[in-house]
Amino acid sequence: MQEVFKAGKIQREDVFIATKLWNNNHRPERVKPAFEASLKKLQLDYVDLYLIHTPFAFQPGDEPDPRGANGHVIYDKGVTLLDSWRALEGLVDEGRCKAVGLSDVSLAQAKEIFEAGRIKPAVVHIESHPYLPQWDLLDDCGKNGIVLQAFAALGHSSEPRLLEDPVITAIAQRVNKTPAQVLLAWAIQRGTALLTTSRTPSRIKENFEVSTLPEEGYRPDCCKNIL
């Protein structure tokens, strides 16, 4: 990033950079050092968005994946999501991150922070696609002016495979787009921000070439028995 910024074509303020607090750093006194370590690794003065990666905490310490003798993860029950959230609010106060948010939370966990936090989350980052629409969370985010950011917009590697799904592929055929473009358009049209990723130049281009899906109902022939 520094090389690109120094070359002058893209300025720091032209890009939106987010990073996350990992689970072994949820204790409030560990939040700022973890945040500073991320900035140092990224060689940045600030980030645009700092998320709490998960609502649950791991045993505090240097081990990112602490395990007991039985191989099970060691959780930290001595800190709440709200405790960590208050520490993130302090980072916003200091101007080190422009916005803060939550990741992988349930509606109940998100609501707790919406209601008790001094600063509302700017973003709730969760897995979402047609097989995991999360309508209730989207509705609640909308009421609170919060952006729902959908990751795994193309279904990630999970089953059923969305890019081969008969409903999605039939819609793609009907609107003359690819299944990926249908999924991305669906995410945009319902009012979420989305994340996807590709290492393939032609797919990166394809993923920007989305257009609005028709609103009227449609039942593809192949799906008459399942819709």
Ligand X SMILES: NC(=O)c1ccc[n+]([C@@H]2O[C@H](COP(=O)([O-])OP(=O)(O)OC[C@H]3O[C@@H](n4cnc5c(N)ncnc54)[C@H](OP(=O)(O)O)[C@@H]3O)[C@@H](O)[C@H]2O)c1
Of 55 and 59, the one with the shorter C-beta distance to ligand X is 55
Q: How far is the CB of 103 from ligand X (least distance, A)?
A: 5
Q: How far is the CB of 15 from ligand X (least distance, A)?
A: 15
Q: How far is the CB of 150 from ligand X (least distance, A)?
A: 9
Of 22 and 93, the one with the shorter C-beta distance to ligand X is 22
Please report the DSSP string for 101-161 in residue order: EEES--HHHHHHHHHH-SS--SEEEEE-BTTB--HHHHHHHHHTT-EEEEE-TT-TTPSS-
Of 93 and 182, the one with the shorter C-beta distance to ligand X is 182
Q: How far is the CB of 220 from ligand X (least distance, A)?
A: 20
CA distance linking residue 10 with residue 25, whole number of Å: 32
Task: Dig out the tokens for 19 from the structure.
Answer: 């990073």
Cβ atoms of 172 and 178 within 8 Å: the answer is yes
Reduced to 3 states (helix: H, G, I; strand: E, B; else coil), residue 8 is coil
Of 202 and 225, the one with the shorter C-beta distance to ligand X is 202
Of 31 and 194, the one with the shorter C-beta distance to ligand X is 194
CA distance linking residue 25 with residue 50, whole number of Å: 13
Q: How far is the CB of 151 from ligand X (least distance, A)?
A: 3
Residues that bind ligand X (CB under 6 A): 103-104, 125, 151-156, 163, 180, 195-200, 203, 206-207
**Distances from the Cα of 77 to the Cαs of 25, 35, 74, 181, in angstroms?**
13, 22, 9, 42
